[in-house]
């Protein structure tokens, strides 16, 4: 069974019912998500008018496993900066990649630029 790591954009696709939401919904039960990415997704959802409690409930209901951002992930996230800088990846993006690398998981994202990266882990672009 494939283990998935959700980028904030993947969760936002579900919250906002955007294209690709069904792909994420089919894979999110038991998926992993960095607390960094969960915070970003919640913040962006609230900015767009979605209730804080609804987004929080979605994470809990879909049994997304939130992974604390620890020292090991912090180091790997920093290490990824030179290789991802020219592609415009954010700190949260690199935190997602670091988690996927550690857990040997497939990343789910709506960000198409990720398909252009030469990452040592699989990336599934949802749209």
pLDDT score of 120 more than 90: no
Give the range of the structural domain holding residue 65, as residue numbers without chain letter. Answer: 4-125
pLDDT in tens, 11-62: 999 999 999 999 999 999 999 999 999 999 999 999 999 999 989 999 999 9
pLDDT in tens, 89-107: 999 999 999 999 999 999 9
Residue 1, pLDDT > 90, answer no
Would you state the structure tokens that stand for residue 16, as one six-digit string? Answer: 């906002």
What total of structural domains would you count in the chain?
1
Look up residue 42 and give its two tokens: 């919640």
- Given this model, what pLDDT does residue 49 score? 95
Angle at 97 between CA 94 and CA 98, to 5 degrees: 85
Which CATH number do you get for residue 8?
A: 3.40.50.1010
Instruction: Give the pLDDT of residue 115.
Output: 87
């Amino acid at each position: 069974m494939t283990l998935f790591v959700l980028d904030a954009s993947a969760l936002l696709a579900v919250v906002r019912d955007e294209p690709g939401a069904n792909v994420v919904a089919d894979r999110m039960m038991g998926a992993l998500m960095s607390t960094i990415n969960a915070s970003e997704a919640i913040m962006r959802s609230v900015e767009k008018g979605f209730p804080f409690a609804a987004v929080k409930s979605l994470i809990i209901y879909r049994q997304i496993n939130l992974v604390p951002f620890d020292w090991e992930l912090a180091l790997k996230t920093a290490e990824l900066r030179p290789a991802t800088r020219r592609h415009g990846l954010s700190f949260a993006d690199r935190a997602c990649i670091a988690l996927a690398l550690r857990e040997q998981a497939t990343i789910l994202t709506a960000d198409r630029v990720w398909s252009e990266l030469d990452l040592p882990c699989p990336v599934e672009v949802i749209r």
